Structure 1
Amino acid sequence: MSEDFYDVLGVNSDASTEEIKQAYRKKATEYHPDVSDDPDAEEKFKKIQKAKQVLTDEEKRQAYDQMGHDRYEQAEKHGFDAGEAGGAGGMGGGPFGGMGGGGGLGDLFEQVFGGGGGRGRRRPRKGRDLRTELEIDLEEAYEGAEKQFTVERPEECDVCHGEGHPPEADAETCPECQGRGQVTQVQQTPLGRVQQTTTCPRCEGEGTLYSETCGECRGEGYVRTEATLSVEVPAGIQEGQTLRMEGEGAPSPEGGAHGDLLIDVSVRDHDDFEREGADLYYRLPVSFPQATFGDSVEVPTLDGAAEFDIPDGTQSGETFRLEGKGMPRLRGRGYGDLYVQVQVVTPERLNEEQREALEDFAEAGGDEIEIKDGFFEKIKRAF
């Protein structure tokens, strides 16, 4: 099934023309081929333009809502101008054989494709997707975790069960449309009679009027509530990745499936590690003797301490790799590596014995320096 024009622009089926135009400008800025890095930007941009063209044209949008996406696209492939559908079915001698005052869009579609195109026959539109954010620790990203969070979303009103009116409210057939939910206008033009069918403005397509409106939801059928949900965060998830919870989005205004809930994950900075993909980076402070003579030390990892041998003669800033000690890759494809960068720490204070030892070291190396004139600064530069 092709992507719905409302989904392409990220708006509800009841969005106003201004909301549709705003959504179009936002999407067009994001996916314009001249500025977007998306490899499918050109194709997406064409879809965005087509969606805006149809949904900002009152007649085309009405035809699109009545037919549904796939039937509308099929009609256009057969050279059918949906923007003039209301009149084509009523023109004598028209391209689809309508005789004066025919049945309009529904009859026309039935003649061409052998099936009705009315709202009641098409697949109910899915509810819109919602989006929220979730922050986790690096340890949770390493292990995976079940996280609880709260999200505000529309849900069916418990008082009226989504009907918009109390159960005891009196109902009457809408006198404007006689219960059909649509009204038809016929105009005489030089080309013949043009017939246009639109949603009834009085009952808003329901076909029925009620004596009372639900006081809880004010007739909307939905109220905004705060829901507590639980999601499984997979081990190895990275900053900026999105989790999808199917059916936890907004309800459909047409009785279809709920939309999905999209969860954008962010990972807090860690005190010890920096992350790049599945790899971790750690700075290991060592003393001058450890770097000179080598040593065996423990290095922290997210899976406990690991033994690490510092080779003798190690230079400050030198980096070593501990294979498989990084982050897990998604879907169980192994682990990244831990990169340990050695930082030789110069002592800020020395006792007399240490000072004499370093003076002997400097003299043994042939350095003729005065201690007070920057000996320790020279040691820092050397290592």
Structure 2
Amino acid sequence: MTTERDYYEILEISRDASEEQIKKAYRKKALQYHPDRNPGDKSAEDNFKEATEAYEVLKNPQTRQVYDQYGHAGLRQGAGAGGFGGGFAGFDIADALRAFMRDFGGFGGFEDIFGGFGGTSNRGRTVHRGRDLRVDLQLSLEEIAEGVSKKIKVNYKSTCDSCNGSGAANEEAKKTCPQCKGSGEIRQITRSLLGQMVRVAPCDYCKGDGTIITDFCPECHGSGLVDDKKTITVRIPPGVTTGNYLTMSGEGNHGPRGGPPGDVIVVVTEKEHEHFTRSGDDIVYEVPISFSQAALGTKLNVPTLAGESELNVPAGTQSGKVFKFRNKGIKHLRGLGRGDQLVRVIVWTPTKLGPEEKKLFEQLADNEKINPPRSSKSFFEKLKETLGV
């Protein structure tokens, strides 16, 4: 960050906020910007880190006092390298997640809200969430118009039954990590003018598990996961369009070592229709009519999403005229009602005429009643009038 924002401003609290108010404000910000709720959103990730940094400083009476007196400069001078220092150097997303889980891992149902994510549990061991799965689902216009339930086959990773997800061939094959002594984390203590500051990181030797495996499970080869298949039912609401997606929580890959499962993301694609094109929640149908039908008028049976409807084409209808069938379109995704069906008539011009047809059209060509009216003024005369010349 190039600009150091005020920590109180970041958490939207007053400078005399209590410890409980600081904690509550941070909880709200963390819920709003957590990476699991905003996958791929760099701005949300930065906001999450920024809020966590502010919380880490203000929740500690010592660092808060220094910040209140000297601002960011006081923290930089006092904390030294590895401190908070008003930027994100040395304070990355992993630090922010660990700090969050340290204080809120079992507080207020955060794990339920986010469906589980990599971080530090109350016991210190890293919990890895299962990967999300994407499923592309093609839907017809008829299915989109009314909504539909679909059964989807999913290939996913499930917990290995042989080792119960541990990845070990047997209990004897699981050993306590010699580096972290089973805690799953390493604590680094930095001493400064402000006192001791502790930085907690997952153990790199056991990857935060707290145990190491000396003999892998022959079924899953140590991963704790095996290939599996299942069928899930997804309810698609009416009015969706290409690119819309639904999240099936907890239906994705199981997490390693007993971690929570990921989600199945169902992404909708609209199939091209044989007769109709879509315009928002309206559907459009083009029907060709002959010159005589346009001139004399006619009645046509027109297909709709719910069957055929009769269209009355009055005499003298021009090519391109649009008629409307109300409430024959697609149900609205949000709210009541539905779109319309628009029927555009196109006067068809024959391209191959026999001698008799040519003679008939030649006779009609001189009839002023069936030819478009001609203006008495030329194009250039109209242009002069427009320009005032």
Q: TM-score range by the shorter chain?
A: 0.5 to 0.7
Q: Please name the residue that 1:177 is paired with.
A: 180
Cα–Cα, structure 1 residues 332 and 178, in superposed 2: closer, same or farther, change >3 Å?
Answer: closer
Q: Which residue identity does 1:282 align to in structure 2? A: Y
CA apart distance, 1:258 = 2.5
Residues 185, 203 of structure 2: 8 Å contact kept: yes
Please list, as runs of the form range in 1=range in 2, the aligned pairs for 1:277-316 lying within 5 A after superposition: 277-316=280-319
Q: Any stretches of 5+ residues in structure 2 without a counterpart? A: 1-29, 54-84, 106-119, 372-389
* Structure 1 partner of 2:36: 7
Give the 3-state SS of the residue equivalent to 2:36 in structure 1: helix
Aligned ranges 1:331-350 → 2 under 5 Å: 333-350=336-353
Shift of 1:2: 1.2
Equivalent position to 2:100, from 57, 64, 68: 68
Change (3 A) 1:156 1:305: same
Tell me, what secondary structure is at the counterpart of 2:364?
helix
User: Is residue 237–residue 333 contact of structure 2 (8 Å, CA) maintained in 1?
Assistant: yes
Q: Which residue does the alignment assign to 2:225? A: 222
Equivalent residue number for residue 141 of structure 2 = 138
1: distance between equivalents of 2:122 and 2:49? 24
| AA of the residue aligned to 1:285 | P
Q: Is contact 1:134–1:266 with CA below 8 Å preserved after alignment?
A: yes
Structure 1 portions without partners, runs of 5+: 12-39, 74-116, 369-383
Following superposition, the deviation at residue 196 of structure 1 comes to 5.4
The correspondence of residues 1-383 of structure 1 with structure 2, limited to 5 A, is 2-3=31-32, 5-7=34-36, 10=39, 46-47=47-48, 63-69=95-101, 71=103, 119-120=122-123, 127-184=130-187, 197-253=200-256, 255=258, 257-330=260-333, 333-365=336-368
Whichever residue aligns with residue 333 of structure 2, its letter is: L
Structure 1 stretch displaced more, 40-49 or 136-145: 40-49
Q: Distance in 2 between matches of 1:307 and 1:201?
A: 73
Question: Residue 356 and residue 126 in structure 1: after superposition, are their counterparts in 2 closer, same or farther (change >3 A)?
Answer: same
> 2:235, 2:103 → 1: CA distance?
38
Matched AA of 2:100: G
SS of residue matched to 2:240: coil
What is the TM-score with the length of structure 1 in the denominator? Answer: 0.63
Distance in 2, Cα, partners of 1:215 & 1:179:
24
Structure 2 CA distance, aligned partners of 1:212 and 1:123?
21
Deviations 1:106-163 (A, max 9, x none): xxxxxxxxxxx96427996754533221112222223433333334433222332211
Q: 1:217 to 1:273 in 2, by over 3 A?
A: same
Q: SS at 2:217's partner residue?
A: coil
Between 1:154-163 and 1:194-203, the stretch displaced more is 194-203
Q: Structure 1 CA distance, aligned partners of 2:46 and 2:208?
A: 33
Please provide the CA RMSD for this pair. 4.1
Aligned counterparts of 1:71 and 1:185: Cα–Cα separation in 2: 18
TM-score computed with the length of structure 2 as normaliser:
0.62
